[in-house]
Amino acid sequence: MRVSASRFRSIFFAVISLTAMAAHADWYHREAAIMGTRIAVELWHEDASEAERAIEAVLGEMRRVDALMSHYKPESQLSQINARAALAPVAVDSELASLIERAGKLSALTGGAFDITYASVGYLYDYRAHQRPTDEQIEAGLGAVNWRHVVVDPKDSTVRFTRSGVRIDLGGIAKGYAVDRAIAILESHGVRHASVTAGGDSRIIGDRFGRPWIIGIRHPDDADQVIARIPMIDAAISTSGDYERYFDEDGERFHHIIDPHTGKSASKLRSVTIIGADATTTDGLSTSVFVMGPERGIELIERLGDVDAVVVKSNGKVLYSSGLAPP
Ligand code: AMP
Ligand code: MG
C-alpha cells in the first residue's frame, strides 16, 4: 500500500498537534503574597495561556477583596467603617455588608467566641514588636467588644456601631471568603481540578490524578512535621494555630486569636482544623473552635453535622470529630 505524501503529511501534523496539546495540558502553579499571607494556586488546564489567565483572575480577585476588607489600608471600606460607623451609618458594598452580617450570625452560633469586634482590644497587640496591652488597657477596651454593637442594614447596605470605641477586623474569615471567590472564578473559567490556598485556608476543586488531594496538618511546634493527612475532593479546609503570629514572654504565649470575653489570647488549644464544603465556613469555624476550646468546640462541630474537626490540645493530644474518627 502506498501512502500518499499529503496523507503522510496530515498524519504527521496530527502527531505534532497531539504532542503540542499534551505538552500544554499540565498542572500550573503560582504563588504570591497578598492579604499579608501566602497565596498559592495550582490547577490543571489543557491550555497554558488559559491557565495563566485563570490564575491572573484569581490573584486580581484576591487583591480586590484585600483592598475592600483590609484593616491595614486606611482607604479600604472596612477602615472607613472603623473611622466613622460610631457617628453615622457607613454605606459599603453589599458584599462587605453581607460578610459582616455573616460574621454576626457566627457570633450568635458560637456564643460570642467568634467576634469581629475583638479588634477593639486586638489592635493593642503588636506581635512583631512583642507588645501587648496592660490589664487596665484591656479592661478599658472590653466594653466595646461585643458583636451586638455592629448593626448591618442589608437593605441600605450600611454598617453602624452602637457606641464609640468599636473596631472590627475580618482577619478570622476574610481569607476563607477570598478563597471561595477564587474557586468561583476558576469554575467560571471551566477549571475542574484545582487548589487555592490563602495562609491557613484552602479549597479544592475535583481530584488530582484520579485520587483525592492530600492536605497535611502541621505539628504546632514543628512546621516540617505532619500530624494528620486529610484526603480531600471538592472541599475546603482551614487551620487556626497559636504559631501563626505570636511572641513568648515569661513562658506565656501571646498570639493573634483573642478570646472576646477576656481580651487575651485563647489558650485552650494549640491548633484547630475544620473541613467543610466552603472556606468562608471553615475559616470562621476554625477561629471559633480555637476560642471555644475542645469540649464546646467539638460539640458545636458535631451539632452542625456537615463539618469535621481535628483539634490539637495544649498537651499535644489530637482529637477528631466523629466524621473523621477511625471506625
Ligand atoms: P485564623 O487564622 O483564621 O484563625 O484568623 C485569626 C485572625 O482572626 C486574627 O489574626 C484576627 O485577625 C482575627 N481574630 C482573632 N480573634 C478573633 C475572634 N475571637 N473572632 C474573630 N476574629 C478573630
Ligand atoms: Mg479563621
Instruction: Give dist(CA 133, CA 258) in Å, integer.
Output: 12
Instruction: Give dist(CA 280, CA 188) in Å, integer.
Output: 19
Q: What is the dihedral of CA 310, 312, 317, 322, to 10 degrees?
A: -20
Residue 4 pLDDT exceeds 70: no
The CA 50 to ligand 1 mean position distance, Å, reads: 35
Q: Whose CA is nearest to atom 6 of ligand 1?
A: 172
Instruction: Give dist(CA 55, CA 280) in Å, integer.
Output: 20
Q: Name every residue whose Cβ is closer than 8 Å to that of residue 47 and which is 6 or more positions away in sequence.
A: 24, 25
The string of DSSP codes covering 8-65 is: HHHHHHHHHHHHHHHHHSEEEEEEEEETTEEEEEEEEES-HHHHHHHHHHHHHHHHHH
Q: Is any atom of ligand 1 closer than 6 Å to the C-beta of 286?
A: yes
C-alpha cell at 225: 512535621
Q: Pick the more confident residue, 17 or 316.
A: 316
pLDDT level of residue 327 (50, 70, 90 thresholds): low
Q: Is any atom of ligand 1 closer than 6 Å to the C-beta of 283?
A: yes
pLDDT level of residue 3 (50, 70, 90 thresholds): very low
Residue 185 pLDDT exceeds 80: yes
77-161 fold: T-fold (1.10.3980)
The helix or strand, by DSSP H or E, that contains position 137, with its residue range, turns out to be helix 135-142
State which ligand 1 atom lies nearest to the alpha carbon of 291: 19
* pLDDT of the residue at 136: 98
* pLDDT of the residue at 325: 76
* pLDDT of the residue at 326: 67
Q: Is any atom of ligand 1 closer than 6 Å to the C-beta of 116?
A: yes
Q: Where in the chain is the domain with CATH 3.10.520.10?
A: 204-327
Q: Which CATH architecture has domain 204-327?
A: Roll (3.10)
Please state, rounded to an integer, the average pLDDT across all residues of the chain.
93
Is the Cβ–Cβ distance between 201 and 179 less than 8 Å? Answer: yes
The CA 161 to ligand 1 mean position distance, Å, reads: 20
Is the Cβ–Cβ distance between 44 and 191 less than 8 Å? Answer: yes
Per cent of the chain over pLDDT 70 is 92
* pLDDT of the residue at 247: 98
The CA 287 to ligand 1 mean position distance, Å, reads: 6
pLDDT (tens digit, 9 = 90+) per residue, 201-249?
999 999 998 999 999 999 999 999 999 999 999 999 999 999 999 999 9
Please give all residues whose CB falls under 5 A of ion ligand 2, grouped by chain where several chains appear. Answer: 172, 283, 286-287
pLDDT (tens digit, 9 = 90+) per residue, 12-38?
444 444 444 445 789 999 999 999 999
pLDDT level of residue 1 (50, 70, 90 thresholds): very low
pLDDT (tens digit, 9 = 90+) per residue, 76-103?
999 999 999 999 999 999 999 999 999 9
Q: Where in the chain is the domain with CATH 1.10.3980.10?
A: 77-161
Residue range 132-147: average pLDDT? 98
**What SS3 state is found at 210?**
coil
Q: Whose CA is nearest to atom 5 of ligand 1?
A: 172
State which ligand 1 atom lies nearest to the alpha carbon of 173: 3
Per cent of the chain over pLDDT 90 is 91
Q: Is any atom of ligand 1 closer than 6 Å to the C-beta of 258?
A: yes
